[in-house]
Structure 1
């Protein structure tokens, strides 16, 4: 669960072994999602994403999430070959993932950082990497947002 304590915006994710398992859980999880919406006092938006890249060394305390539009195959290759090795050399880096939504032509890249200071120190290089990924994908940057990592407990295998 990612949270922006200033705006109240949060993102909760779950992962599933298969699309069929995810769909089968919908009826059971609907009341849980509704209860979460009531507790948080907001609205719920649900998106479905495929995991294209998952690389985690450890969990941190904050995340930067970037949404990009473009050629998802090119974006995935740039992320895997060009960006991930660079991220691994960045002080304070913990993990990175790239999720893709084929129907919307969107990629969602998330990087986790040991501390907010480390994340802030990486902003200039992150901007460059993001521009490169969007350019290589023939697309554009849709949005970028920074969050606190409130809870991390996904059992997703390495997919780098």
Structure 2
């Protein structure tokens, strides 16, 4: 499983228009693309930062989609009245869903850097060390880990049932992150929180 994430700098007043574009324009086109298995949009209404992610059953399917996705991505940038800041491609190393995300779901993303030789250690630590503890926290819905094996860069994401549960989980998750990144020998590059503005995922359970 692979994923492509596109980060947008949007006008805050246009975020709802961007979400509508995903519903009305992107979604009807996506099932026609071979190997497509899901899409999501995370939004930060305070800053206008938005991250759209498409998931693919193989690296080949992801790369074959690039031309078609480019036009849809440009359309999303226009709907958001913004610009594309970055595009990244990932291997989906972990996808774990405890419960379906609801309408009020929020996400927390942690970008990390490890030595490329340590990617498998990071994946195993996420699976065996973090996930069992996350499942014990009230409001936890799902977690994923995307990695770039060539660079050692990764991003772990957790989904929570509401902003309240996201806020309540923060001290506990901070402690878990500190412990896990020590085991991984990872540098934490950034931690950011978002509202899950849109999600349609058909990806299977991987752990």
TM-score, structure 2 normalization: 0.75
- State how far apart, in whole Å, the 2-side matches of 1:104 and 1:43 are: 25
Q: Which runs of 4+ in 1 moved over 3 A?
A: none
- State how far apart, in whole Å, the 2-side matches of 1:137 and 1:86 are: 16
Q: Map residues 68-87 of structure 1 onto 2, 5 A cutoff.
A: 68-70=112-114, 71-87=118-134
- State how far apart, in whole Å, the 2-side matches of 1:88 and 1:13 are: 24
- State how far apart, in whole Å, the 1-side matches of 2:177 and 2:112 are: 8
Cross-structure match for 2:68: 28
Cross-structure match for 2:150: 103
1:55 aligns with 2:96: yes
What is the CA deviation profile of residues 117-152 of structure 1, one whole-angstrom value per residue up to 9, with x for unaligned ones?
111111111111111222111121110000000111
Which of residues 90, 111, 129 is equivalent to 1:67? Answer: 111
- State how far apart, in whole Å, the 1-side matches of 2:174 and 2:161 are: 19
Deviation at 1:42, TM superposition (A): 2.3
Deviation at 1:31, TM superposition (A): 1.0
Cross-structure match for 2:19: none
Q: Cα RMSD (Å) of the superposition?
A: 1.1
- State how far apart, in whole Å, the 1-side matches of 2:48 and 2:127 are: 32
The answer for unaligned runs of 5 or more in structure 2 is: 1-40
**Which one has the bigger strand percentage?**
2
The answer for unaligned runs of 5 or more in structure 1 is: none
Aligned length: 160
- State how far apart, in whole Å, the 2-side matches of 1:42 and 1:118 are: 30
Q: Map residues 6-45 of structure 1 onto 2, 5 A cutoff.
A: 6-44=46-84, 45=86
- State how far apart, in whole Å, the 2-side matches of 1:10 and 1:104 are: 23
